[in-house]
Amino acid sequence: MIGGGPPVGGASPGGPASGDGARAFGSRKSAQSRVPRRPRGGAWESGSRRMAAGSAWEAAGACRRVLQRAFSLHKAHSVEDMENTLQLVRNIIPPLTTKKHKGQDGRIGVVGGCQEYTGAPYFAAISALKVGADLSHVFCTREAAPVIKSYSPELIVHPVLDSPSAVHDVEEWLPRLHALVVGPGLGRDNILLENVKGILEASKARDIPVIIDADGLWLIAQHPALIQSYQKAVLTPNHVEFNRLSEAVLSHQVDGSDHHEAVRRLSQALGNVTWYRRGSGM
């Protein structure tokens, strides 16, 4: 029969809603009753402003806590200390200006990157760009090159480090570079280490500043003469790497209770090269 049966929702003709229909109607009514009404006068605007101010205050507090943690995982520095540190950072970052062309604010080369380690050379190179350098080159092995290229199109990647002509290939680029970072993702393959020895010698001959880290420091521990008295070298060992270098250069580990004296002694033994010791107690 057309039109037969109860109406949708189970309500009887002309009677009150019941069943699912009643519940749906009740839900809509309850939802409507929960919608906050706009207060009269300026109460709504005042409340909105208070909420916005509260959110901004919470955001500022969160930023402050992030900055504090960024400067130290162990203690919170004062705002004045953080501002002084930030000002020092600003002083070394080249300002943006229309009077310079690409390459004048820093051309950096990173020597490292092999099949096992592709992240470290990427982070070293991309960090240079993020703090103001114009160009970052990565000299890595052939297997590592496609991976590092895929991380960022901003990097210039040279798959030459495991080539028989690696020293010559990198040396051709040295006149265009302002500084070299040696070691991130290098690994300890003998062929790569021999090539890096030649690259370091070529860099010293051109008086190029060199920062040595990671497995580059392991190479220096095996051959300290590579940077002996080269005062444009900066070594950045952690606690373990520092002890390894101490044993290699001084034939014993230095007293760990006086970090500054330990760094001074090792620096003097290598001809007053610059050290930045990281890790335990520093």
Annotated binding site for (6S)-NADPHX: 185, 238-244
Residue with tokens 């480090």: 161
Distance (Å, whole) CA 203 – CA 196: 10
Distance (Å, whole) CA 37 – CA 166: 74
Beta bridge partner(s), residue 212: 182, 235
Binding site: residue ranges? 185, 238-244
Q: Which of 149, 148, 156 is nearest to 129 (CA)?
A: 156
Q: Write b or e for each residue in 266-280: b if 16 or more Cβ atoms lie within 10 A of its Cβ, otherwise e.
A: bbebbeebebebeee
Calculate Rg over the CA atoms of the chain: 32
β-strand 156-159 against 135-140: which pairing, if any?
Answer: parallel
